[in-house]
Amino acid sequence: MWAEQPLPALVNVQYRLAIQMLGGFTVSIHGQLVPDSTWRLRKAKNLVKLIALAPGRRLHRDQVSDILWPDSDLRAGSNLLYQALHAARRLLAEPIAVSSCLTLENGFLSLTAEAWVDVDQFEVAVQTLKTSDRQDPAEYQHALALYSGDLLPEDLYEEWTLQRRESLRLSYLGLLQDLSRIEEERGNYSSAIAVLQQLLATDRGSEAAHVGLMRLYALSGERQLALRQYLTLREVLQTELETEPDPKTEQLHQAIRDGSYPPVDSMGMLPMQTQLYAQTPGLITPQNNRQSKHNLPAELTSFIGRSGEIETILRMVNEHRMVTLTGSGGIGKTRLALKIANGLLESDADGVIADGEFTDGIFLVELAALSDPDLVMQACFQALNLLEQPGTALSDVLVRFLAQKHLLLILDNCEHVLNACVQLADRLLKACPRLHILATSREILSVPGELPYRVPSLAIPDLQPQPRLPLSLADIAQVEAVQLFIARAALVSPGLDLTEANAPLIAQIVRQLDGIPLAIELAAARARMLSVEQIAARLDNTFHLLTGGSRTVLPRQQTLKATLDWSYELLSPKEQLLFQRLSIFAGGWLLGAAEEVCADDVDEPLCDWERLDALEMMDLLAQLVDKSLVVAETGERETRYHMLEVMRQYALGRLVEGGCGMAVRDRHLDYYARLTREAEHHLRGKGQVGWYTRLGYEMDNLRSALEWARSRDVTRGLQVIGDLMWFWHNRGLFNEAIDWAELLLAAEAQERAGAPISGERAFQRARALRAFNYADFYIQRSKPAERSANLYECVHLLRCLPESAQPGTPARRELGIALFYLIAEDQRWD
């Protein structure tokens, strides 16, 4: 039997065999989900898919072979088919005898008609609605619910899926169009709007759907939303289809903008409040209309944590004219800004501004969908519900309106239209003395008077390295990142809660995701189909796992990789290059390290297409800090930099794609080998405290360098081990010293393959043997004979070295130390 797993919600458990292919392939037998990991042959899975999609669920074996094994001859294709058929039958028969569901008779492969297949169910529902005179929205919703997503998204490029996928997708979009029309004809504007939003989540480029939303918003009295929808349409058409809106769409937009749509004779259909607004002259809704005080969207999910940040930012917003929330993509800047704005509203249902605060309102200007900086001003007009005035510049109208207003303007997602936002904020702050601005951006705007606030990751569990001091369940439950994971996972997997069994795994997940809210929410969304254990196990492929975000947000916000792609593409070529190269640092770095590892030599550049000069490193690094891709931690003496681990993994992928990865890793190894060589001279003398501290900060980088040395430069790796002997000893890292020494000594011996050893290589091998035995002397992990053999080899190598052969430390001193431990070892076992 397979372990209990949640079934997709639409699968009818009364069926003996249920196959779902819309939105992803799943099979269940008598209500029990077949785990994906049990499909040992991919072609067995494809065989089931192919037969389930075939007309009448029946296909000749020659057709199957031609589709699944097009490059095989008849005999080989037949053998492969029988292997796949056997594997599929065996899998489906495992929990209960259902092998008869998949048969081969008279050359035809067939799937039982008793099986429930979501594609068939959906197509039958579509055909029924087409031939029926009834136009019941409930029946449409039932049919739409069967469409969980595009057909077999995991087989996106398989030719046998292409035509059927597009046909099903068009049927789905057609149902949505029909349902929207039905709801609009019945006067159910809000329902019609929801349907068109669902349509655009699948087909962003549907101009008809965008126009329908513009019309419906206007008819509902939501002029601001109608104008915003036009901007979204224009953005999509320009960026994705390289075209402009239809002239009729432009006419509708102009009519909505100048107030001539909806026509007066349609006003009887609208709420009384909307009628009053449409008949009132002036720039915006009359100030006695309580609804005009803000345009903040309703919160659809709970806000988790950040109480300290909220208190601090609320005070900053009240005391300073401009505050900018900065941080990397997915860190939660927008959500935090909205929470701050809502905190400035009274808690009553009307959302009236509290006395003494922003009495003229709080308005959100959403910039994420814009690509043209010239549209920033129009976005402000829409947010404030302003009308343009003939012969007057938009900026002048905006300044005149805001001049005496005590108002908070939220500019959200400024980074891609930064210059336009800088100019706007600068002018408004100078001309409107009571205006306050709260901006969100991946980099600061550098406007005079701006107060930046870097939004941190959510708090993550501070797991103790000692197994005897694990965090308790109560401790883990109090952590913000864990609370967010549980809250979002429970939305898709009701009943999921924090337990003694899953708490350590959830703590591991949120730590691995650096407490980044977007990453945590995407991981939690996988709880729909995966257990907590499976999510934790799959985090090694972070960017593949963390997909499938809300369809209502922009594509760049639907996956973690898309969010980081967006930030990366806003960088200059040199910033991109430095961002890639900095990913080689595993545990942070100092400016000097970045200059030595990442800058190009005149004679040996790291790549051919772009060069980084050490003199420009400081400015480029500062720009990456300003753009929230690198974190700077200022200490008493030096500033240390690091990337969030998720960011580093993304940048490392870019580095590998660019073809410079090996050269940069060589530089990294060379730098840290020189660092340890210098440190070794100071670890037992003056200034040792500072050097021990420095090496402690560099532990992750040293481990990364040693790992690379195993396959790239084993002699350099042996040198690092010898250099770190005193450091490992004084930090009590005896096992780590032994582990690395064993790995590098074995790699050196394997590479040499019995050939004679001399020179620097012999010297560094001797030093690594000495470091091994020095650590093993204290914990005695090895057998006495092994320690003695290592010491004898060390002494032999050093005795055979001429004084001039050693590169740094006198061989005589090394020999003396080795002999001391050899004598001590012999005396111990006499």
Nearest alpha-carbon partner for 436 in 367, 379, 359: 359
Quote the pLDDT of residue 368: 78
CA angle 236/239/241 to nearest 5° reads 80
| Residue given tokens 């000495």 in the structure block | 770
Q: Which residues make beta-bridge pairs with 453?
A: 325
Q: How many residues does the chain have?
A: 830
Amino acid type, 107: G
Quote the pLDDT of residue 542: 62
Contact partners, residue 722, CB within 8 Å, separation at least 6: 680, 764, 767, 768, 770, 771
Question: Are residues 430 and 410 in contact, defined by beta-carbon separation less than 8 angstroms?
Answer: no
Write down the domain spans for the chain. Answer: 39-114, 204-263, 291-454, 473-542
Q: pLDDT tens, 485-497?
A: 998 888 878 888 8
Interval 252-277 mean pLDDT: 60
CA gap 27, 39 in Å, rounded: 11
The residue that leads in pLDDT, 819 or 424, is 424
Alpha carbon distances (Å) from 350 to 292, 293, 294: 10, 9, 10
Interval 226-251 mean pLDDT: 88
% residues pLDDT > 90 (the chain): 30
pLDDT band at 516 (very low <50, low <70, confident <90, very high): confident
First to last CA, the chain: 60
- What is the SS3 assignment for 436? strand
Quote the pLDDT of residue 274: 37
Interval 719-743 mean pLDDT: 91
Give the pair of three-digit tokens for residue 131: 């031939």
- What is the SS3 assignment for 361? coil
Contact partners, residue 20, CB within 8 Å, separation at least 6: 8, 10, 11, 26, 27, 28, 118, 148
Alpha carbon distances (Å) from 554 to 366, 373, 378, 443, 731: 12, 18, 20, 20, 49
Q: pLDDT tens, 86-131?
A: 888 877 764 444 446 788 888 899 888 788 999 999 999 999 998 8
Quote the pLDDT of residue 687: 80
Long-range contacts for 231-235 (Cβ within 8 Å, ≥24 apart)? 231/369, 231/370, 231/375, 231/378, 231/379, 231/382, 232/369, 233/207, 234/375, 235/369, 235/370, 235/371, 235/372
- What is the SS3 assignment for 633? strand
Q: pLDDT tens, 190-208?
A: 889 989 988 988 888 899 9
Question: Are residues 156 and 186 in contact, defined by beta-carbon separation less than 8 angstroms?
Answer: no
The residue that leads in pLDDT, 819 or 116, is 116
Whether the ω angle into residue 262 lies within 30 degrees of 0, i.e. cis, is: yes
| 743: Cα separation from own chain's centroid | 34
DSSP 505: H
Q: Characterize 239-272 residue by residue with b for buried, 16 or more Cβ atoms within 10 angstroms of its Cβ, and e for exposed.
A: eeeeeebeeebeebbeebbeeebbeeeebeebee
Interval 408-418 mean pLDDT: 92
Q: What is the CATH number of domain 291-454?
A: 3.40.50.300
Quote the pLDDT of residue 430: 94
CA gap 655, 584 in Å, rounded: 9
Helix, strand, coil tally for the chain in percent (to 5): 60, 10, 35
Least confident of 104-108, 303-307, 370-374: 370-374
Where do runs of H (alpha helix) occur along 661-810?
661-680, 688-697, 699-712, 714-723, 725-730, 734-752, 759-779, 784-799
Quote the pLDDT of residue 9: 43
Q: Which residues make beta-bridge pairs with 366?
A: 412
The residue that leads in pLDDT, 738 or 135, is 738
Quote the pLDDT of residue 11: 46
pTM across the whole model: 0.55
Does the structure show a pLDDT above 60 at 289?
no
CA gap 707, 483 in Å, rounded: 36
Nearest alpha-carbon partner for 697 in 581, 598, 579, 590: 590
Does the structure show a pLDDT above 50 at 4?
no
Nearest alpha-carbon partner for 59 in 47, 44, 71, 69: 47
**Number of C-alpha atoms within 13 angstroms, CB side, residue 798?**
22
| Residue given tokens 């492929």 in the structure block | 541
- Sign of the dihedral through C-alpha 759, 761, 762, 764: positive
Question: Are residues 122 and 168 in contact, defined by beta-carbon separation less than 8 angstroms?
Answer: yes
Phi-psi category of residue 462: left, alpha or beta, with phi > 0 → left and psi -120 to 50 → alpha = beta
CA gap 130, 132 in Å, rounded: 6
CA gap 745, 714 in Å, rounded: 8
